Amino acid sequence: MRIFNIIPGAFPWIVSSASLLALFYPPAFTWFSGNLITFGLGGIMLGMGLTLSLSDFRGVTQAPSWILTGFFLQFTVMPFFGWLLGHLFDLPPFFAVGLILVSSCPGGTASNVIVFLSKSNLALSVSMTALSTIAAIIMTPLLTSTLSGNDIDVDAMGLFYSTLKVVLIPVLLGVFINTKLPRHTEKIKFYAPSFAVILITLIVASIIGQGKEIILSSGFSLILAIMSLHLIGFILGYFLSKILLKNEAVSRTISVEVGMQNSGLGVVLAKENFINPAVAIPSAISSLVHSLYGSIFVALFRKRS
C-alpha cells in the first residue's frame, strides 16, 4: 500500500529513468505501442473522471475570474510560444507541428499532482484541468490546424474525433460512475494517481524508444525549444495571474496548469492523425521536461509556503 503513496510524488524521477532506459534499450518499452497507447491514455482519462464529481465543477461558477484567467492563459501563452519557438529554433516541419500540438493540449493529471505537492489550490487545479480537458475537444484541433499553417497537412476533424474518443468519453464515464457508485469509486481513487503515472511513463518511454535515432541525431534544438516552452509557461502563468488576481495560491496553481500540458494526449493525437511518427516525439519529450520543471517548482513553492 505504501508504494501507492510514493509513486505520484516520484513521477519526475520515474519518467526520467524510464526515458533514459528507452534511449539505451528501446525494446524495454517499445512493446507498449499501437492501440495500447490509445487505451493507456483512455485509462488515464477514466481515472481522472473517477476522481471528479459534479461538485468539483462548481468552482467554475464560484471563482469565475480564477478559472477564466487560467483558461485564457492556457490556450494563448502556450500555443503562441509553441508556434514561435518552432520558428525561432528552425525545427523541421514534423517537430514544429508536434510542438504546436502539445502546446495546444489541456492540463493533465500530472499538474494536479504537482499542485497538491506544492500546497497550492488543488480544487482550482482540478476544475481547470476538467474545464480545459473538455474545451480541448474543440480548442486543440482548432489551434493546431490554425497555427500549423502550411507546414504540414493537419486533419482538424481527425484531431477532433480522436480527442472526443480518448478524452470526453472516458472522463464523462468516470464522472458518471463516481456519481452513481461513490462508495466503490472511493476505493479506486487512492490508486488512480499511481496508475496514471505508470501509464504516462509507459507512453512517454515507448515514443522515445521508437524515436531514438531521430532524437539523438536532430533532437538537441527540439529539447531546447521544449525546455524554453515550458519554462515560459510556468513563469508567465505565475506572474500574469499574480498581476491580474493578486492571490499567491491561485497564481501558483495557474502557473502549474499553464506550464504542464497533457503530453500523453499529444502523443495519442499525433500517432492517430499523422503519418510521420516523429510528430509524437515533442509530446513525449514534453512530458519529461515539464515533470522535471514541476518537481523544481514544488521545491520552490513549498519553501515559500
- Mean pLDDT, residues 95-114: 84
Residue type, 198: I
Report which of residues 120 and 270 the model is more confident about.
Answer: 270
Question: Taking 80 as the threshold, does the pLDDT of residue 288 lie above it?
Answer: no
What pLDDT score does 227 carry? 92
What pLDDT score does 117 carry? 67
Residue 141 · residue 157 · CB < 8 Å: yes
Q: What is the pLDDT of residues 38-95, one digit of tens each?
A: 788 788 778 777 877 777 666 556 678 888 888 899 999 999 999 999 999 988 888 9
- Give this prediction's pTM: 0.77
Report which of residues 213 and 285 the model is more confident about.
Answer: 285
- Percent of the chain's residues with pLDDT above 90: 14
**Right CATH for 34-304 from 1.20.120.160, 1.20.1530.20, 3.40.50.2300, 1.10.490.20:** 1.20.1530.20
- Mean pLDDT, residues 95-118: 82
What pLDDT score does 296 carry? 77
Q: What is the pLDDT of residues 221-242, one digit of tens each?
A: 888 999 999 999 999 999 999 9
Separation between Cα atoms, residue 209 and residue 216, nearest integer Å: 11
Query: For residue 305, what pLDDT band results from cuts at 50, 70 and 90?
Result: low
175 CB-near residues (< 8 Å, 6+ apart)? 49, 50, 52, 53, 54
- Mean pLDDT, residues 170-176: 83
Residue type, 144: T
Give the chain as a 3 state SS string: CCHHHHCCCCHHHHHHHHHHHHHHCCHHHHCCCCHHHHHHHHHHHHHHHHCCCHHHHHHHHHCHHHHHHHHHHHCCHHHHHHHHHHHHCCCCHHHHHHHHHHHCCCCCHHHHHHHHHCCCCHHHHHHHHHHHHHHHHHHHHHHHHHHHCCCCCCCHHHHHHHHHHHHHHHHHHHHHHHHHCHHHHHHHHCCHHHHHHHHHHHHHHHHHHHCHHHHHHHCHHHHHHHHHHHHHHHHHHHHHHHHHHCCHHHHHHHHHHHHCCCHHHHHHHHHHHCCCHHHHHHHHHHHHHHHHHHHHHHHHHHHHC
Which grid cell is 93?
Answer: 516541419
Angle at 233 between CA 229 and CA 238, to 5 degrees: 155
Which grid cell is 153?
Answer: 497537412
Choose among 262, 295, 285, 154: nearest CA to 211.
285
Separation between Cα atoms, residue 63 and residue 213, nearest integer Å: 47
Neighbour tally for 2: CB within 10 Å? 5
What pLDDT score does 246 carry? 85
Separation between Cα atoms, residue 101 and residue 225, nearest integer Å: 14
Report which of residues 159 and 259 the model is more confident about.
Answer: 259
Query: For residue 165, what pLDDT band results from cuts at 50, 70 and 90?
Result: confident
What pLDDT score does 76 carry? 92
What pLDDT score does 302 carry? 59
Distances (CA, A) of 263 to 3, 60, 89, 288: 24, 24, 20, 9
What is the average pLDDT value for the chain, to the nearest integer? Answer: 81
Domain boundaries, the chain: 34-304
Question: Taking 60 as the threshold, does the pLDDT of residue 151 lie above it?
Answer: no
Which grid cell is 111?
Answer: 499538474
